[in-house]
Amino acid sequence: WGWRKSLSFDLIQEWVLKNPEASICTAQGAKKFKDIAIFQDYHGLPEFRMAVANFMGKVRGNRVTFNPDRIVMSGGATGAHEDDCLLLGLIPERDFWVPVPYYPGFDRRFEMANWGTASSSTCESSTISRSREQPWKNAYEKAQKANIRVKGLIITNPSNPLGTILDRETLKSLGFHHEKNIHLVCDEIYAATVFTQPRFISIAEILEEEDVVCHRDLVHIVYSLSKDMGFPGFRVRNPCTHYNDAVSGLRRERCRVSGWVSTQTQCLIASMLSDNEFVDRFIVESAKRLEARHTKFTEGLEEQGTTCLKSNGGLFVWMDLHKHLKEQTFEAEMALWRTIINIVKLNVSPGCSFHCPQPGWFSVCFA
């Protein structure tokens, strides 16, 4: 649930067996064992950061490159987000803006208030992108009137739970926030799960465009291999920040609070992700398999009369069950959720847990 449990592991396993020198536990790699086991630099292994930067570029179609020196590794997703906020001087409570529906983990992390944002249009239109600039502006004005200071906007692109991606115009409109000196945290944790058109556009690409009014220093990209490669157990999470001054501070903070990735795992991942031939094949094959599974899953639902929000990324779909609600309330949504969990035995999540403003939506994992 929530990970590509068996989707592309054959490719990874095959690579591991073909590249015994990548592991410190094989005859071919064991001579590195000592150096790897005692390595303690909170910058991470240089080859690890380089390989992650390489992979992040590949996932974004090689249209942008990432500077390994700006990669800050982290052992845990939660810690990573918290540290970013600490370092950016953001106070979790009420300092953040997140479009609804959003990943419930953010609540635990920041204890964020759910207000503002381009919420209501999200479920009505096919993607959040229809809303463009105006909702942000409205939300900002609303916040100002309520004397709530907004210091950061968090975007998960591709969206969790929607599985949709933000289009170029919407991403460009985020420049609005930079006029107001608001930090933009882009969680691109599902970047490699985009399986069909339109293609994913990273905020990093937008920053390269000439006509974009954007302070690079205010943009922070959060990334991870948990979802894109399917390694949640390995704890490889690398927030990559463009906020120059924060990098060294973040590294120290991360080292202090959230530990880091086991050097044994850094070593293996470094070797795997710097193999361009493998990475190219993995990205293509993985997208192909995700698309096939998504098609099979959504077509199956449609045959049962259930539609989903049209999506092209992520490992989940946003399923519309509002017509099965006894009444259009969140109580009825919870009742339906209990029925699905207990009787249908399907592990779905109700929209209300994602702060969806309309009852009847459910998130369900297909990968």
Rg, C-alpha atoms of the chain:
21
Residue 340 designated active-site: no
* Window 165 to 194, contacts with a copy of itself (CB under 8 A): none
Q: In what order do the strands lie in the sheet with 183-187?
A: 96-97, 152-156, 183-187, 219-224, 237-241
Residue 189 designated active-site: yes
User: What token pair was written down for 219?
Assistant: 């943009």
Q: Is 121 an interacting residue with respect to a copy of itself (CB under 8 A)?
A: no
284: DSSP letter: H
Q: Is 213 an interacting residue with respect to a copy of itself (CB under 8 A)?
A: no
DSSP 200-219: P--HHHHHHSTT----GGGE
Q: Could you tell me how many residues of this chain bind a copy of itself (CB under 8 A)?
A: 48
65: DSSP letter: -
Q: Is 230 an interacting residue with respect to a copy of itself (CB under 8 A)?
A: yes
Residue 107 designated active-site: no
User: What token pair was written down for 335?
Assistant: 């009742």
Residue 206 designated active-site: no
Q: How far is the CB of 16 from a copy of itself (least distance, A)?
A: 5
Q: Is 239 an interacting residue with respect to a copy of itself (CB under 8 A)?
A: no
78 contacts 111 by C-beta, under 8 angstroms: no
- 10 vs 141, beta carbon nearer a copy of itself: 10
Q: How far is the CB of 189 from a copy of itself (least distance, A)?
A: 15
β-bridge mates for residue 223, sequence order: 238
Q: Is 3 an interacting residue with respect to a copy of itself (CB under 8 A)?
A: yes
* Window 258 to 297, contacts with a copy of itself (CB under 8 A): 258-265, 268
* d(C-alpha 69, C-alpha 151), whole Å: 26
DSSP 65-89: ---GGGB--BS-HHHHHHHHHHHTT
* d(C-alpha 96, C-alpha 110), whole Å: 8
Question: Considering only residues 56, 68, 74, 84, which one is a binding residue for a copy of itself as defined by CB under 8 A?
Answer: 74
Q: How far is the CB of 111 from a copy of itself (least distance, A)?
A: 12
Q: Is 330 an interacting residue with respect to a copy of itself (CB under 8 A)?
A: no
User: What token pair was written down for 59?
Assistant: 């996932």
Q: How far is the CB of 273 from a copy of itself (least distance, A)?
A: 14
Give the footprint of a copy of itself on this chain (CB under 8 A): 3, 5-6, 9, 12-13, 16-17, 20, 22-27, 30, 33-34, 36-40, 74-76, 78-79, 82, 108, 230-235, 255-265, 268
Which residues are catalytically annotated? 103, 187, 189, 227
